[in-house]
Amino acid sequence: MPNPKIKLYLIYFLKIILLLMAVCLFAFALMSGSENSGTLKNIPNSLPWLLLLIFACITFRWQILGGILVILFGIFTILFFSALEFLWILFIISLPLIIFGSILALSGFLKSKEL
């Protein structure tokens, strides 16, 4: 059995990577169209990424729920962005979200079984 501290550090590392990914995507969505119309008018374009940021924060408190929400958000990005047609979206945004959410939810289930 692997060292429990190593597992804990890996899960926290994954949560931080997910949080950084959410912050970067939110900032990019917020700033991407603001040069013409201003940042305040571009806020609706960044709302889905704000939702991902909230889901990433939920994973720190409720790991299973947050993991499931991140998985659902990853599936949403496949449908919303037509990621099956644009493979770079699939491999850069959608699949990492689904993989991160799956690992978080699975490790949360396994941790609850150990207790």
Determine the residue type at 50. Answer: L
pLDDT at 45 over 90: no
Long-range contacts of 94-100 (CB under 8 A, 24+ apart): 96/21, 97/18, 97/21, 97/52, 97/70, 97/71, 97/73, 98/70, 98/71, 98/74, 100/14, 100/17, 100/18, 100/67, 100/70
Structure confidence by residue, pLDDT tens digits, 14-28: 999 999 999 999 999
What's the DSSP call for residue 99? H
pLDDT at 114 over 80: no
Its domain, for residue 23, covers 4-114
Output the average pLDDT for the chain: 90
What domain count does the chain have? 1
Determine the residue type at 7. Answer: K
